[in-house]
Amino acid sequence: MHRFANPTQFMRIANAIYPWAAGLSVILFLIGLPIALITSPPDYQQSETVRIMYVHVPSAWLALMIYGIMAGGSAAFLIWRHPMANLAAKASAPMGAVFTGLALITGMLWGQPMWGTFWVWDGRLTSFLILFFLYLGYLALGDAFEDSERGDKAAAILCLVGSVNIPIIHFSVEWWNTLHQPSIVKLGGDGVKSTVDGSILLPLFLMLGAFTFYYFAVLVLRLRSELLAAKIRNARMSQVATHAAIDPAAEGRLFVDSARLPRASAE
């Protein structure tokens, strides 16, 4: 595993994954969207409203999965100081926040017609809102320090502390009575079980796959650009050093230039 701490090694694998992830995501969206939104049957009780599920459940799944990946990355960063693990966590955070927001919004739009309310403070909804704030807190804390290394560490610790919320979100519908219904797919001792009919489960799984591969594809793109930004910054820095050696007056001007560059921590 420590092999992947090397950015070159890490990116070699990430770049190999990228075309597969991007391709599968596009294919699954192309197959899944028409089935989910048009040809799949309406639910016997909720009729067409059930189609919100095909966006809501994959968003919520990604919100949890991305947080899990970020927690793993943050742990590897804090324990072994792997810069790539931290970079992967930082690159994932905005996506996780967006999917959490999407799950919250689609959930509200679904709750109003079915339950009769946009929002209730039950175990599932409340813990999921906390997840959204954890993402925002992670993003804000990482940028709140003058020294980006310290910001990264503080954000990684917040991410680890917040990870206790993940099992709470998952089990909230089983531990306490909630307005939110229990999980659609149950992972038990006897494998994957679901009480949902196959004609509704199929588009759901297609959309789950499409969303998940989308995340991995975009993650690779974000990592690439972060590494390039770091390279540019390093190149500017060494340029500053050379200029400063020849002409001390140039230092200030070039320093301003390099400070305007996007910040990246992997060096």
Partner 1 sequence: MTRKRQRLYFVVLGMLGLGVGTALVLTAFQDNIVFFRSPTDVAEGKVAAERFQIGGLVEDGSLVKNGEDISFSVTDLNNSMKVKYRGLLPDLFREGQGVVASGRLGPDGVFVANEILAKHDENYMPREVADALKKSGRWNEGAEGGPVPSEAGPKGMTPASTAPKEAP
Name the site residues for partner 1 (rule: CB under 8 A). 41-46, 50, 53, 75, 78-80, 113-117, 120-123, 160-161, 163-164, 168, 173-179, 181-184, 195-197, 199-200
Least Cβ distance, residue 41 to partner 1 (angstroms): 3
Choice between 90 and 124, CB closer to partner 1: 124
Going by C-alpha positions, the residue among 213, 183, 188, 216 that lies closest to residue 201 is 183
Half-sphere exposure of 110 (CA within 13 A, CB side): 22
Q: List CB contacts of 183: < 8 A, sequence separation 6 or more.
A: 170, 173
Least Cβ distance, residue 133 to partner 1 (angstroms): 16
Using the Cα atoms of residue 94, residue 96, residue 101 and residue 102 in order, give the sign of their dihedral. positive
Choice between 117 and 242, CB closer to partner 1: 117
Choice between 133 and 176, CB closer to partner 1: 176
Least Cβ distance, residue 75 to partner 1 (angstroms): 6
Choice between 48 and 267, CB closer to partner 1: 48
Least Cβ distance, residue 85 to partner 1 (angstroms): 13
> Which pair of structure tokens corresponds to residue 119?
């929002």
Q: Is 192 helix (H, G, I), strand (E, B) or coil?
A: strand
Choice between 30 and 79, CB closer to partner 1: 79
For residues 151 and 142, give the distance between their C-alpha atoms in angstroms, rounded to a whole number.
4
Counts of helices then strands in the chain (DSSP H, E): 8, 2
Least Cβ distance, residue 138 to partner 1 (angstroms): 16
